[in-house]
Amino acid sequence: MPETSQEVDTPHAVEATDITLAHGTFVALAKSSCHIPAGRVTAVIGPNGSGKSTFLNSVTGLIVPVGGTLAVLGQRPVDARPRVSYVLQNVEAPVDLPLTVRETVAMGRYASLGWFRRLRSTDRDAIDAALERMRIADLAHRHLHELSGGQRHRVLVAQGLAQEHDILILDEPLAGLDVVSAEVIDGIVHDTGDSRTGDRRTVIHTTHDLSEAAAADHVILMGGRVVAEGPPDEVLLEEHLVEAFGTRGLHPPVD
């Protein structure tokens, strides 16, 4: 698929060439190629079970392709892992784990610092900036299990932000959130600039929302393989959506 002039000179943060992804003998993503432009927002969209999470897991090195080649920041995914933050969908906080919001966000820094090292002032600054950015600074000393689902979700995104990695991956970041939480997190999804460092990060997110995908710079449409990829206006076409979803949607326009 042709790239837009905006994408032509953009280096690729992720380059997948003829990859096949499988869980045991079950092929979740049949032989496919796609790329993710660096410093931009990419939405991965497709029906349930179409291979979105499997693909993200391959980018983070958790699943190794059974065929083809996959490069992340020019490296093997497993080697690029220290430069990639992966924020999962809202996870339950165990009641018996007495972690505060701030400690949870700080865990994002320890991952690259080493668990027994002391936080430096740059680490504390990154933690404070992430708490502010997600508007949870006032919750810093609350325990995770005292928070609502939406608040906890913001904490997890803050943990990903605090890592200040080159790639930020968010799995269905807006699912199940109220308007305020969704607005805060949507701001992160579409903000590839790091105001503290001046660097641009690559954001990859999965979504079931067509309008959310339309707001991305680049879209990858999945349906057990990559059905289409490119700018939203070239990918989110009825012919591609019908191919991926097998339906024209709940309320298709009248012909």
Among residues 54, 58, 85, 163, the one that binds ligand ATP under rule CB under 6 A: 54
CB proximity list for 249: less than 8 A, separation 6 or greater: 241
Instruction: Please give the Cα distance from 21 to 100 (Å, whole number).
Output: 37
The phi, psi pair for 152, rounded to 5°, reads -65, -35
C-alpha span between 154 and 108 (Å, rounded): 14
CB of 44 to ligand ATP, least distance (A): 8
Nearer to ligand ATP by Cβ, of 38 and 221: the residue is 221
Structure tokens that stand for 229 in this block: 């990829």
Q: How far is the CB of 204 from ligand ATP (least distance, A)?
A: 13
Span 7-26, contacts to ligand ATP by CB under 6 A: 23, 26
Buried b (16+ CB within 10 A) or exposed e, 113-123: eeeeeeeeeeb
Q: Judged by CB under 6 A, which stretch of 44-52, 144-152, 197-205, 231-239 contacts ligand ATP? A: 44-52
Which part of the chain contacts ligand ATP (CB under 6 A), choosing from 32-40, 46-54, 69-77, 94-102? Answer: 46-54
Contact 220, 7 (CB under 8 A): no
CB nearer ligand ATP, residue 166 or residue 172:
172
Question: How many CB atoms lie under 10 A from the CB of residue 251?
Answer: 6
Q: How far is the CB of 24 from ligand ATP (least distance, A)?
A: 6
Which one of 2, 9, 25, 48 is in contact with ligand ATP (CB under 6 A)? 48
- The only residue of 37, 51, 77, 230 in contact with ligand ATP, by rule CB under 6 A: 51
Angle CA 131–152–122, to nearest 5:
25
Of 162 and 236, which has the nearer Cβ to ligand ATP?
236
Binding positions for ligand ATP, rule: CB under 6 A = 23, 26, 28, 46, 48-54
